[in-house]
A and B are shown apart, each in its own frame.
Chain A
Amino acid sequence: MAGLGDLLGRAVLWPFVLLARLIDLPLRVWQRWTGIGGMAAVFLAPTLLIFGVFVLVPLGLNFAYAMTGGTGILLGERPFVGFEQYGRLLECEDYTRRLTCREDQFWTAVGNTGVFVIFQVTLMVAVSLITALILNRNIRGRGFFRAVFFFPVLLSPVVVGLIWRWILQRQGLLNLIMVNLGLDPQVWLNDRFYAFAATIGVSTWAHMGFYTLILLAGLQAIPRDLYEAAEMDATPPTRVFRRITLPLLAPNLAVVLVLALIRGVQIFDEVYVLTGGGPGTSTLFLTQYIYEAGFASILRNPGLAAAASILMGAVLVVLTLLQLWLSRRAEGGRVR
C-alpha cells in the first residue's frame, strides 16, 4: 500500500516537479544577475499582474471615463469633457433642496445612503454585540446558535434579497401569518417607511453573523482571569461590562464599526433584488444610482457613473484609512 501511495504521490506531483525543473535554470540566471532582491520581484510578479489587470487598469479607466461624455461605451468614441461630469453631479441651486440639483437622483441616493448607513450601522453594531455577548456565555446549544447566526453570511446577496422578497411581498409569508392571526396585511415593500426599514433589517440579518464573529473572537480573547479578578473585587456586572469588557473590546468594535460603514456605503445587491430602489426612489442607494446611470437607464452615461463612483471611492478611502488607523492603534495597545 505504501508503494502504491508513493506512486500516486509521484504521479500527482510530477507536473509540478517538471515545472520546477523547467524554471530552475532561468531563475538561477535571474538571481545571479539581480541578486536575492530580484527574486522577490519574480515571486511578486504574478500577484502584481493580477492586481494590475483587475484593479489598477479599471481604476485608471474609471478616472479616464469620468473625464469623458456621451453615451458611447468605448473610450475612444467618447469626447473629453474634463471635470464636467463632477460638476454635473455636484451642481445645485440650493443644497438644502435636492430637487434644485441637476442630478437630483444622485443626491437622493446620497441622502438615502447616509440615512441607511446611520441606522443600519448602529443597528448592526448593537445587534452583533448583543449576539456576541450571548453566544460568549456558556449557554446550551452555543455551537448551534453560532452556526445559525453565521449561516446568512454564506448566502449570496441575491438569495438573501429573494428570500426576504418572498417573505415581505404583498402575498408573502409575513402577510399570510398576519392574516392567519387576524391582522390586516401590509404592503411592506410598497410603503416608503417599511421598505426602507426592510432594507436595514434584511442587510443587518444578512451580515450580522460576520460582525458577531469578529466581536465573539474579541470577547474570547479577553482573559478569564480579568473577570475573576473583578469578581474577587466585588465588581457589579454593569461595571464589569463598562470598565472591562467594552474597553478591551474597543479595537474589535472599531473594526466592526468601520467595516460596517464601508459595507453600508457599498450596499447594493440584496436591496436591488428586494426593492429595486423603490417605492419611487425611497430605497435608491449610491451604488444602485451608479449602476443605473452607467448601464441600466435609457440615456446611459458611463462618464457620470464613473465620476459618481470616484466620489464614492473617495469616501471609502477615508473610511478605510480610518479603519487602518484604528487597527494600528489597537495593535499598539494590545495586551502583550
Chain B
Amino acid sequence: MGQITLRGIRKSFSGVDVIHGIDLTIADGELAVFVGPSGCGKSTLLRMIAGLDRPTTGTIEIDGQDVTRTSAAERGLAMVFQSYALYPHMTVRQNLSFGLENTRMPKNDITARVDDAGRMLEIMDLMDRRPTQLSGGQRQRVAIGRAIVRNPTAFLLDEPLSNLDAELRGSMRAELAGLHDRLKTTMIYVTHDQIEAMTLADKIVVLRKGVIEQVDTPLGLYNRPQNLFVAGFIGAPNMNFFNAVAVDGQAELPGGLRVAVPGNGPVTIGIRPQMLHLADPDAPALTGTIRLIEALGAETVVHAAAADGTAMVVVLSGQPALRTGETIRLAFDPDALHVFGADGQRLD
C-alpha cells in the first residue's frame, strides 16, 4: 500500500506563504509528477510529505493514517535527493546498507537486500567504490538503490535527473519508468522538466506559486489544459496565444481569419505549433511574416510575427521551401483551438 493524501496543506516561511492550501490524493502504485517553474513549491511539498518539513496547517495521510506530526524516519518513505546525498566517505555497499543497519536487521538479510538492489540496478561491480569514483549516472543509480533497499511505502524523488547530461537523462528516465513498472510502488517525482513529467507520469500535478493549477494525465494536460498557465507550460515549443474579442460566438485571428469560440468578450485563443500547417493558396488563413527558420531535418520550426505583431511558432513536418521575410499562410483544424476567457480559464 502507498496511498498519500494531502488535505489543506499550507506552508509559511517567516510569515511568507509558499504553499496555499493543497488538496491532493496520490493512489497506491501511482507515479505522480509535481511539475512547475522554479519557486512554485513543488520541492517544499515533497519535503513535507517526506517529513523533512512540517506543514503550517493541513494534514498528510499515508494509507489513511495521519502522519503530519510523525518524524521522517517513521513514515516508511524513501527519498532520492537532487544532489544524490551519498555519504562520500562510504563505499557504495556501505551507502546502501547504512539505512538498514539502523533497523538492526540481521547482517545476512542486509547483504541479501543490498545485493538484490545492486543486481537490479546493475551496480554490483561498483560496490567497493566510493561516490567520488563514480560517474553522475552511477551515483544516481546508487542513490536509487539506497531508496530501494529500504522497501519503502513510497519513493520521493526530488529532481533526481537534473544533474545529468541530456543523453544520460534520457536513458535514466527510461530506467526509472521501467523500475516503477517492476516495483509497482507509489512514486512522487519532482521536476521542472515537462518532458520528464510527460514521459514518466501516470498523473501530473502542475503547480504555480504554491497552488495546484491542474491535476491530470499527461495527455489530459496536453489536450485539455484548464487555464492559460498550464496551456503555456505543457508542450514544446510553447502554445501560440492570440488575443481577440468574441462577438456572437466568433473571434478574428490576425490576418482576418474568423473562428468559432464559446462565449463573448475578450478571449485568448491558443493553438499548439504542431497543429498549424501551410494553408492552400486560396483558403482563408492565419498569416504572419517569417522571422527565423530552424530546419531540423525531419521538421522545420518557423518563428513568425502575426499581422498584429504577436509572436508565433510553427512546427512543420519535412523541409518546406520557406524564406525569412516571406509571408506564411497557416491553416488548422478548428478542434485544435483552445479558448480561454479573460480570467485565463478554459471556456469550453
Instruction: List the interface of chain A (C-beta within 8 A of B).
Output: 223, 225-226, 228-236, 239, 243-244, 247-248, 333, 335-336
Contacts and interface: CB of A to CB of B under 8 A. Distances in A.
Interface string B129-169: 00110000000000000100010000000000000000000
Contact of A233 (B88, B89, B102): B102
B182 to A, nearest CB: 22
A248 B87 CA distance: 9
Interface of B: 50-52, 71-74, 77-79, 81-85, 87-89, 98-99, 102-103, 131-132, 146, 150
Contacts of A230: 98
Contacts of A235: 73, 98-99, 102
A223 B83 contact: yes
B81 A248 contact: no
- Most chain B beta-carbon contacts within 10 A, residue among A225, A232, A235, A239: A232
Contact of B89 (A228, A232, A248): A248
B79 A232 contact: yes
A233 B81 contact: no
A333 B81 contact: no
B102 A231 contact: no
B132 A233 contact: no
Contacts of B98: 230, 233, 235, 243
Given A234-B73, A234-B99, A333-B132, A229 B85 contact: yes
Nearest to B82: A225
Given A231-B73, A232-B72, 6 more contacts: A229-B79, A232-B73, A333-B88, A335-B131, A335-B132, A336-B132
Given A234-B73, A335-B88, A229 B102 contact: no
A235 B131 CA distance: 20
A219 B83 CA distance: 18
Nearest to B158: A225
B226 to A, nearest CB: 34
Contacts of B51: 231-232
Given A229-B85, A232-B73, A248-B89, A239 B79 contact: no
A75 to B, nearest CB: 53
A226 B73 contact: no
B102 A234 contact: yes
Given A225-B85, A335-B88, A232 B102 contact: no
Given A223-B83, A236-B102, A335-B132, A231 B89 contact: no
Contacts of B50: 232
Contacts of B150: 233
Contacts of B79: 228-229, 232
B292 to A, nearest CB: 40
B89 A333 contact: yes
A100 to B, nearest CB: 50
Contacts of A336: 132
A241 to B, nearest CB: 13
Contact of B87 (A231, A236, A244, A333): A244
29 contacts: A225-B81, A225-B83, A228-B72, A228-B81, A228-B85, A229-B79, A229-B85, A230-B98, A231-B51, A231-B52, A231-B71, A231-B72, A232-B50, A232-B52, A232-B73, A232-B77, A233-B73, A233-B99, A234-B99, A234-B102, A235-B99, A236-B102, A239-B102, A243-B87, A243-B98, A244-B87, A247-B89, A248-B88, A335-B132
B154 to A, nearest CB: 12
A234 B103 contact: yes
Contacts of B87: 226, 229, 243-244
A232 B52 CA distance: 8
Main secondary structure of the interface of A (DSSP, over half): helix
Given A333-B89, A335-B132, A228 B102 contact: no
A-B pairs with the 6 shortest C-beta distances? A234-B73, A233-B99, A225-B85, A229-B85, A335-B88, A247-B89
Contact of B81 (A229, A236, A244): A229
B94 to A, nearest CB: 9
A9 to B, nearest CB: 41
Given A232-B77, A336-B132, A226 B85 contact: yes
A228 B71 CA distance: 12
A136 B137 CA distance: 33
- Most chain B beta-carbon contacts within 10 A, residue among A229, A239, A333: A229
A335 B89 CA distance: 8
Nearest to A225: B85
B88 A232 contact: no
- Most chain B beta-carbon contacts within 10 A, residue among A230, A239, A336: A230
A108 to B, nearest CB: 43
Contacts of B72: 228, 231-232
Contacts of A228: 52, 72, 79, 81, 85
A248 B90 CA distance: 10
A233 B75 CA distance: 10
Contact of B85 (A223, A234, A248, A333): A223
Contacts of B81: 225, 228-229
A243 B89 CA distance: 9
Nearest to A239: B102
Contacts of A225: 81-85
Contacts of A239: 102
B319 to A, nearest CB: 45
Contacts of B84: 225
Contacts of B82: 225
A138 to B, nearest CB: 13
A177 to B, nearest CB: 42
A232 B132 CA distance: 22
A248 to B, nearest CB: 6
- Most chain A beta-carbon contacts within 10 A, residue among B50, B77, B99: B99
Contacts of A223: 83, 85
B167 to A, nearest CB: 21
A40 B150 CA distance: 58
A247 B90 CA distance: 10
Contacts of B131: 335
A160 to B, nearest CB: 37
Contacts of B78: 232
A224 B172 CA distance: 25
Contacts of A226: 85, 87
